[in-house]
Amino acid sequence: MAKRGGYPGGMMPGNMNNLMKQAQRMQRQMEENQKAMETREFTATAGGNAISITMTGKREVKNVTINPEVVDPEDVEDLQDLIMACMNDILNQIEEANNDAVNSMTGGMNFGGLNF
């Protein structure tokens, strides 16, 4: 009868141990990066600095500044558009920073769209 693959005595090869150590190291790095991201602040502006919003990496809004000149009760839609553009810019910055952190740890390997 032919012998199937495997390792004698059921022992793990050295490469598997190294792989486990690398995975644990990567997990620690990801936790450290996550903590750093949570305290990092991102700022975006819209309308030529008419609106400025600052948000943390935890996606908590820290500050909103609106130039009174852009507040027109007759044109609330423009103000809403500026706020939306500003928020989308910040969220994109945070996403990009998260992707950069993950790529620096994984060497750019794709894990099927997993978000860390």
User: In DSSP terms, which residues pair with 63 in a beta bridge?
Assistant: 54
Is residue 43 over pLDDT 60? yes
Percent of the chain with pLDDT over 70: 81
The answer to whether residue 13 is domain-embedded is no
Query: Whole-model pTM?
Result: 0.67
The answer to whether residue 43 is domain-embedded is yes
Is residue 8 over pLDDT 80? no
Number of domains comprising the chain: 1
Position 86 scores a pLDDT of: 95
Question: Domain containing 78 — which CATH number?
Answer: 3.30.1310.10
Instruction: Identify the domain containing residue 80 by its residue range.
Output: 37-106
Nearest to 26 by CA among 34, 15, 36: 34
The answer to whether residue 97 is domain-embedded is yes
- Over residues 14-25, the pLDDT tens digits come to 788 888 888 888
The answer to whether residue 29 is domain-embedded is no
* Residue 94 pLDDT grade (very low, low, confident, very high; cuts 50, 70, 90): very high
The answer to whether residue 30 is domain-embedded is no
